[in-house]
Each structure stands twice: as C-alpha cells, then as structure tokens.
C-alpha cells in the first residue's frame, strides 16, 4: 500500500449565469488566439482542451492554441451591452479555463 499519495486540492470557481446573449470574452493575455475567445466545450467547440494558465517557455509555439505562452496573467474581461465585468484569479498554480 502506497502511504505517500499525492493529494491535489480541488478548487473551482462557481459558474455565474451572466446575461444573455453570450458575452464577448476577451483573450487571455499570453495566448496566441483570436481576441474574442471561442468555446472550448460542446459540439461547436474550436479546441479539444481548456485554456491553460501557467508559466511556460515553449520553443516552437503552435499558433491558434489554448496552451500558455511564456507566462500567465489570470485576468479575463466579458463585455455586454451595458456592463463590463472582469475576473482576476490570484492563484499561482496552474489554472484551466473552459468556455461554453
């Protein structure tokens, strides 16, 4: 029996029901993808995985990819007709973001 199992904390940010239609989500800094972020889950998703936030220095970085590029700034903006909202995540560990 392995007594030294790695324990990972499971932290999730609750899903917020934002006004419809879907807001225009702006690009994560340090990602080489479109300014208006596409979906990452569902039948019309453009990527097969979530956007990843963590510090990385990748040689030969693939364009139009949800993978991190050189570093991460965990800040996202969503624009609606009247309000603009933002989320800043101050957690230093790897973070994955999925968009519907």
Question: Is residue 99 domain-resident?
Answer: no
pLDDT of residue 22: 54
Instruction: Find the domain containing 84 and state its range.
Output: 20-92
Question: Is residue 7 domain-resident?
Answer: no
In angstroms, the CA 30 to CA 13 distance is: 21
pLDDT, averaged across the chain:
67
Read off the pTM: 0.53
Question: How many domains does one find in the chain?
Answer: 1
Reported residue count of the chain is 100
pLDDT (tens digit per residue) in 38-76: 777 888 888 887 777 666 666 666 677 666 666 666 777
Question: Is residue 51 domain-resident?
Answer: yes
């Amino acid at each position: 029996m392995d007594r030294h199992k790695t324990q990972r904390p499971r932290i999730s940010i609750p899903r917020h029901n934002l006004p419809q239609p879907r807001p225009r989500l702006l690009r994560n800094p340090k990602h080489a993808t479109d300014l208006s972020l596409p979906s990452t889950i569902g039948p019309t998703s453009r990527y097969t995985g979530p956007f990843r936030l963590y510090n990385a220095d990748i040689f030969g970085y693939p364009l139009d990819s949800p993978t991190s590029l050189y570093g991460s700034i965990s800040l996202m903006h969503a624009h609606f007709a009247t309000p603009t909202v933002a989320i800043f995540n101050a957690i230093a560990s790897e973070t994955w973001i999925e968009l519907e």
